C-alpha cells in the first residue's frame, strides 16, 4: 500500500496529551487537507510524519514501509514549511539543489573547490543543475535563479520552497500552512498552483491548514482535527453537508452553522421552542438541531424572531436574527428576497426538515427521519 | 528646505512659521548633540591629532625645545631591533589568540547549545575571566606557571616531564602569554556565539534534516556556519583588536622579558613614553598601532561584511 498511513499516533507534552491516538490514510496521489484550529495538534502530527518529532506510540508507514523510527532523511518525504525555511545564504538555484546535492553527492564531492575533482562529481553536478533548472522553470522561477531569498517577495519565496520540495520527486509531500504568510489575493491564486503541482507530481500530499476555505477548495478529502483527535475524514462536500460531529459542523462553514436547542419527546418527535419540526430522532431528551445559514428562511408561520441587522455581500445577504429565548441566528438570503426586512422587524423563521442536522448531547450526529405525523414548520 | 514657494518671488519680511519651526528644530538638535561632540573632540580627536603631531617631533618630557624632525622617528623604528621584535611578537600573539579563542569558543558554544542541562553554569564559568581583573588574574597565572612551585609544572613532574620555565624561557614565553590570552577572550566570544546560535531559526534545522542532511557536520555546514556568519565576523574583528591591544599580562608577568622576547607594541610604546620619556618616539609607535587597528576595521566593514550578510 503506497501513500501515507498512520496508526494510533500518541504524543504527550509535559503531562498533556497533544495527540490522542490519531489514525489517517493518504492514498497514492491523493490530496488530503488536515484542518483544525490553532493548537489542535495538526502541526505536531505533520512533524511526526516528517520525522522531526517522535511519537510516544503508534506507527507511520510511507509507501508501504514503516518509517516510525527512521531519520527524516531516510523517509523520502519533502516538506514545505510555514516560514518557507529557505537557506538565506544560498541563491534560489542553490536552495532548490540542496536536497539533490545531499542525496546524490558524497561528502567528499560536496566539498568546495576540490569536490569537483572527485570522480563522478562533474556528471552528478550537471544532472542536478538540469533538474534544478527544470523545477525552477515549472514554477516560473527561471529568471530568479541567481537571487538570494532576501531579495524575493513572499510569493516568490513560497515558490522556491515548493520547487525545493518537488525537485526530488519524493514519495509524499507535507505542507505546513504554506499559504498563511501570503496576502489574501496571492493566497487564492497560489491555491490553484499547489493543486496543479500536486496533480503533476502525483505524490500523496498532506496539507495542514487552519483555513477551511483552503481545505475545502484544494483537497480530495478533508480531515477535521480538534483537541488532538481527528473527528471526521470525508470529501469536502460530505464534510459540509453531512458532518458526523457537532464540532465539525461548527468548524466548517462561514458564517458558522446555526445551532438550536431542541427537545425530542417520548416518541422522538423533535420540537424547537415548543414547535413541532416534522423530524423524528432515534432518542429522547435534549438534542441540538443545526442549520446552515442558507437553510433557514423567513416564512409566513414559524419560529418568531427579531431581525438585528443585515450585511450585504453582493450575491447574497446575511440576516442576523434573534429568537425569543436569546439564541442568535444567521440567515443567508438572496437579495431579491429581502422584501421589507430591516433591523428591528419581527419575522418568522422556517426550514426544510430534510436540511436539518440533529446532534445528540455528546455532539455525535443522529440519523433523522422526516415524519409528517404532526403539522410541520415550513 | 524650500517650503513650497513654487518659483514665485515671495520675499516675506519674517520667516514663515514652517521655516521658523525647522530652524528651532535644528538648533535643538545641535544643542542635544553638543555634549557628545565636545567630548569626542576633547577626548578622542584632539589627543589623536596631538599624537600624530608628536610623532613627527623629537619631543621628550621636560625637554626645553621641540624640533620638527619629519619622518626620522619612523626611520628609527624601521631599524630598531627592539621595535621589530615587538611587532613580530604582537603579530604572533594575534595569530595564535584569534583562531584559538574563536574556534575554542565556537566548539564549546555548540556543545553547550546541544547539551540539555547546565547551560547557565557553563556560560558563567567560561565568562568569568572576562569580568575578572586581568592584573589580579595575572598574579594567579604567575603562580600557576612558576617553574618550581607552580602547580602546572608540579603536575608535569608527576607525569615524569620536566616542565619548561613558562614565563622566563624566551622560546616559551609568547606561547604562555598567548595561552592566557585565549583563556581571557574565550568567554567573551562564547557568549557572542551562544547568542548567535539562539538566533538561528529552528525550522532551518528541520528543513535541513528533511532535505537529507543526515550528519551533524552536514547540518553545521548547511545551516549553522553560514547563519553564524555575521556573529563570526564580529567576533573575529573584536578578538583581533583586543589581542593587538595586549598589554596588562605582559606588563605584570614579564615586562617584555626575558631579553625583549615578549615585548609587544603597546608595551614598547609604554616603555618609550613613560619610562624613557621619549614621547615623540612613543607617539610614532602609537601611529603604527592605530594604523593596524584601522586596517582591521576597514577589512571588516569593506571586505568581509559583504560576504556574511544575506540581505
Closest residue in chain B to residue A169, using alpha carbons only: B211
Question: Does the beta carbon of A191 lie under 8 angstroms from any beta carbon of chain B?
Answer: no
In a domain, B286, yes or no: yes
> For A314-350, what is each residue's pLDDT tens digit?
889 999 999 988 899 999 998 888 877 888 889 899 9
Top pLDDT among B153 and A357 is at A357
- Chain B residue with the nearest C-alpha to that of A79: B210
**Which residues of chain B fall short of a pLDDT of 70?**
1-15, 308, 310-311
Tens of pLDDT, residues A261-299: 998 888 888 888 888 888 888 888 899 999 999 999 888
What is the pLDDT at residue B9?
52
Asked whether residue B165 falls in the same domain as residue B295, the answer is yes
Q: Residue A77: list chain B partners with CB under 8 A.
A: 210
Query: Distance of alpha carbon A209 from its chain centroid, rounded?
Result: 5
B158 with B97, same domain: the answer is yes
Q: Tell me A360's DSSP state.
A: -
Q: Give the distance from residue A228's alpha carbon to the nearest chain B alpha carbon, in angstroms.
A: 22
Looking at the structure of chain B, the number of domains it has is 2
Q: Is B63 among the domain residues? A: no
Identify the residue with better confidence: A239 or B169.
Answer: A239
Question: Would you state the pLDDT for residue B4?
Answer: 46
What is the tens place of the pLDDT at every residue in A4-32? 999 999 999 888 888 898 999 999 989 99
Taking only the tens place, the pLDDT of each residue in A80-120 is 998 899 999 998 998 999 999 888 887 777 777 677 677 77
Q: A191 phi and psi, to 5 degrees?
A: -50, -50
**Both B48 and B190 in a single domain?**
no
Question: Domain check: are B235 and B271 in the same one?
Answer: yes
Q: Same domain for B144 and B285?
A: yes
When comparing pLDDT for A151 and A121, which is higher?
Answer: A151
Contacts of B222 in chain A (CB under 8 A): 87, 98, 102
Phi, psi of A329 (to 5 degrees): -135, 155
Q: Is residue B66 part of a domain?
A: no
Indicate left, alpha or beta for A15 from its phi (over 0: left) and psi (-120 to 50: alpha).
left
Three-state SS sequence of chain B: CCCCCCCCCCCCCCCCHHHHHHHHHHHHHHHHHHHHHHHHHHHHHHHHHHHHHHCCECCCCCCCCCCECCCHHHHHHHHCHHHHHHHHHHHHHHHHHHHHHHHHHHHHHHHHHHCCCCHHHHHHHHHHHHHCCHHHHHHHHHHHCCCCCCHHHHHHHHCCCCCCCCCCCCCCHHHHHHHHHHHHHHHHHHHHHHHHHHCCCHHHHHHHHHHCCCCHHHHHHHHHHHHCHHHHHHHHHHHHHHHHCCCHHHHHHCCCCCCCCCCCHHHHHHHHHHHCCCHHHHHHHHHHHHHHHHHHHHHHHHHHHHHHCCC
Instruction: Give dist(CA B238, CA B215) in Å, integer.
Output: 32
**Same domain, yes or no: B86 and B184:** yes
> Which of B202, B203, B211 is the best mutation test for A, with the most CBs of A within 10 A?
B211
The yes or no reply on domain A4-244 and CATH 3.40.50.300 is yes
For residue A376, pLDDT over 70 is answered with: no
Q: State yes or no: pLDDT of A377 exceeds 70.
A: no
* Residue ranges covered by each domain of chain A: 4-244, 255-370
B146 and B185 in a single domain? The answer is yes
Q: Report yes or no: A178 at the B interface, CB cutoff 8 Å.
A: no
* CATH number of the domain to which B183 belongs: 1.10.3720.10
Residue B12, pLDDT score: 52
Q: Which residue has the higher pLDDT, A49 or B9?
A: A49
* pLDDT value of position B99: 95
User: Roughly how many angstroms between the first and final C-alpha of chain B, as a whole number?
Assistant: 33
Contacts of residue A131, defined as CB under 8 A and 6 or more positions apart, other chains included, come to: A100, A167
Say if B65 falls within a structural domain.
no
3-class SS shares of chain A: helix, strand, coil, % to 5: 30, 35, 35
> Residue B42's domain spans which residues?
1-54
pLDDT, tens digit, 9 for 90 and up, residues A175-211: 999 888 888 888 888 898 899 889 888 889 999 999 9
Q: Are residues B269 and B191 in the same domain?
A: yes
B196 and B190 Cβ atoms separated by less than 8 Å = no
| Chain B neighbors of A71, CB-CB under 8 A | 209, 214
Q: CA B153 to CA A18: how far, in whole Å?
A: 58
Residue B279 lies in a domain: yes
Class of domain A255-370: mainly beta
pLDDT digits 0-9 by tens, B161-196: 777 778 887 888 889 889 989 998 898 999 999 999
Residues B16 and B141 reside in one and the same domain: no
Whether residue A250 contacts residue A256, with contact meaning beta carbons closer than 8 Å, is answered with: yes
* Residue B235 included in any domain: yes
d(CA A32, CA A23): 13
Residue B61 lies in a domain: no
Nearest-Å Rg of the Cα atoms of chain A is: 26
pLDDT of residue B193: 93
Query: Does B83 share its domain with B36?
Result: no
- Comparing C-alpha atoms, which of B303, B178, B305, B155 is closest to residue B253? B178
Is B69 within the bounds of a domain? no
Residues 6+ apart with CB under 8 A from B79: none
Same domain? B112 vs B19: no
The confidence score (pLDDT) of residue B15 equals 67
- Whether residues B211 and A51 touch (CB distance < 8 A) is answered with no
The nearest alpha carbon in chain A to B219 belongs to A102
State whether B3 and B34 are in the same domain.
yes
Residues of A in contact with B218 (CB under 8 A): 102, 107
Amino acid at each position: 500500500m503506497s501513500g501515507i498511513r498512520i496508526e494510533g499516533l500518541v504524543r504527550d507534552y509535559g503531562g498533556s496529551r497533544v495527540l490522542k491516538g490519531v489514525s489517517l490514510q493518504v492514498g497514492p496521489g491523493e490530496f488530503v487537507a488536515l484542518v483544525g484550529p490553532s493548537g489542535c495538534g495538526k502541526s505536531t502530527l505533520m512533524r511526526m510524519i516528517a520525522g522531526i518529532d517522535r511519537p510516544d506510540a503508534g506507527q507511520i508507514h510511507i509507501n508501504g514501509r514503516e518509517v516510525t523510527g527512521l531519520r527524516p532523511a531516510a523517509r523520502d518525504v519533502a516538506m514545505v514549511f510555514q516560514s518557507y525555511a529557505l537557506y538565506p545564504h544560498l541563491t534560489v538555484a542553490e536552495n532548490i539543489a540542496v536536497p539533490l546535492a545531499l542525496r546524490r553527492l558524497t561528502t567528499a564531492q560536496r566539498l568546495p573547490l576540490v569536490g569537483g575533482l572527485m570522480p563522478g562529481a562533474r556528471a552528478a553536478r550537471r544532472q542536478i543543475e538540469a533538474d534544478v533548472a527544470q523545477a525552477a522553470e515549472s514554477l516560473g522561477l527561471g529568471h530568479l535563479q541567481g537571487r538570494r531569498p532576501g531579495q524575493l517577495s513572499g510569493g516568490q519565496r513560497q515558490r522556491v520552497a515548493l520547487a525545493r520540495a518537488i525537485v526530488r520527486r519524493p514519495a509524499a509531500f507535507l505542507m505546513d500552512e504554506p499559504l498563511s504568510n501570503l496576502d489574501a489575493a496571492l493566497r487564492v491564486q497560489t491555491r490553484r498552483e499547489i493543486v496543479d503541482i500536486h496533480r503533476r507530481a502525483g505524490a500523496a500530499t498532506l496539507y495542514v491548514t487552519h483555513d477551511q476555505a483552503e481545505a475545502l477548495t484544494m483537497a480530495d478529502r478533508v480531515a477535521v482535527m480538534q483537541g488532538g483527535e481527528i473527528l471526521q475524514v470525508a470529501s469536502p462536500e460530505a464534510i459540509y453537508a453531512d458532518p458526523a460531529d457537532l464540532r465539525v459542523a461548527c468548524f466548517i462553514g462561514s458564517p458558522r452553522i446555526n445551532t438550536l436547542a431542541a427537545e425530542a419527546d417520548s416518541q422522538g418527535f423533535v420540537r424547537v421552542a415548543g414547535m413541532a419540526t416534522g423530524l423524528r430522532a432515534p432518542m429522547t431528551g435534549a438534542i441540538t438541531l443545526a442549520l446552515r445559514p442558507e437553510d433557514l428562511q423567513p416564512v409566513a408561520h414559524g419560529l418568531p424572531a427579531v431581525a438585528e441587522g443585515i450585511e450585504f455581500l453582493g450575491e447574497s445577504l446575511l440576516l442576523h436574527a434573534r429568537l425569543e429565548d436569546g439564541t442568535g441566528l444567521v440567515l443567508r438570503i438572496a437579495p431579491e428576497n429581502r422584501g421589507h426586512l430591516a433591523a428591528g422587524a419581527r419575522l418568522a423563521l422556517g426550514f426544510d426538515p430534510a436540511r436539518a442536522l440533529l446532534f445528540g448531547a455528546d455532539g455525535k450526529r443522529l440519523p433523522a427521519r422526516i415524519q409528517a405525523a404532526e403539522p410541520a414548520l415550513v | 528646505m524650500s517650503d513650497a514657494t513654487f518659483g514665485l518671488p515671495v520675499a516675506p519680511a519674517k520667516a514663515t512659521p514652517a521655516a521658523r519651526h525647522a530652524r528651532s528644530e535644528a538648533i535643538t538638535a545641535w544643542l542635544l548633540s553638543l555634549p557628545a561632540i565636545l567630548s569626542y573632540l576633547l577626548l578622542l580627536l584632539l589627543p589623536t591629532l596631538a599624537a600624530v603631531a608628536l610623532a613627527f617631533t623629537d619631543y621628550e618630557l621636560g625637554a626645553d625645545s621641540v624640533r620638527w624632525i619629519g619622518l626620522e622617528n619612523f626611520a628609527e623604528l624601521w631599524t630598531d631591533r627592539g621595535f621589530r621584535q615587538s611587532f613580530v611578537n604582537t603579530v604572533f600573539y594575534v595569530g595564535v589568540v584569534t583562531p584559538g579563542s574563536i574556534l575554542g569558543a565556537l566548539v564549546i558554544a555548540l556543545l553547550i547549545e546541544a547539551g540539555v542541562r547546565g547551560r547557565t553554569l557553563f556560560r558563567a564559568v567560561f565568562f568569568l575571566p572576562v569580568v575578572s581583573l586581568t592584573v589580579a588574574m595575572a598574579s594567579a597565572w604567575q603562580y600557576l606557571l612558576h617553574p618550581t612551585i607552580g602547580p602546572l609544572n608540579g603536575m608535569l613532574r608527576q607525569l615524569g616531564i620536566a616542565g619548561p620555565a613558562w614565563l622566563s624561557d624566551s622560546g616559551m614565553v609568547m606561547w604562555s602569554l598567548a595561552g592566557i590570552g585565549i583563556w581571557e577572550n574565550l568567554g567573551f566570544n562564547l557568549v557572542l556565539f551562544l547568542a548567535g546560535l539562539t538566533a538561528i531559526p529552528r525550522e532551518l534545522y528541520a528543513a535541513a534534516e528533511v532535505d537529507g542532511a543526515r550528519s551533524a557536520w552536514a547540518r553545521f555546514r548547511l545551516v549553522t556556519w553560514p547563519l553564524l556568519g555575521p556573529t563570526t565576523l564580529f567576533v573575529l574583528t573584536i578578538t583581533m583588536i583586543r589581542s593587538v591591544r595586549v598589554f596588562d599580562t605582559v606588563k605584570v608577568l614579564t615586562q617584555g622579558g626575558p631579553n625583549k622576547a615578549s615585548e609587544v607594541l603597546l608595551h614598547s610604546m609604554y616603555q618609550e613614553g613613560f619610562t624613557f620619556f621619549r614621547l615623540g618616539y612613543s607617539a610614532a609607535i602609537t601611529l603604527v598601532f592605530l594604523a593596524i587597528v584601522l586596517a582591521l576595521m576597514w577589512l571588516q566593514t569593506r571586505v568581509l561584511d559583504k560576504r556574511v550578510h544575506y540581505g
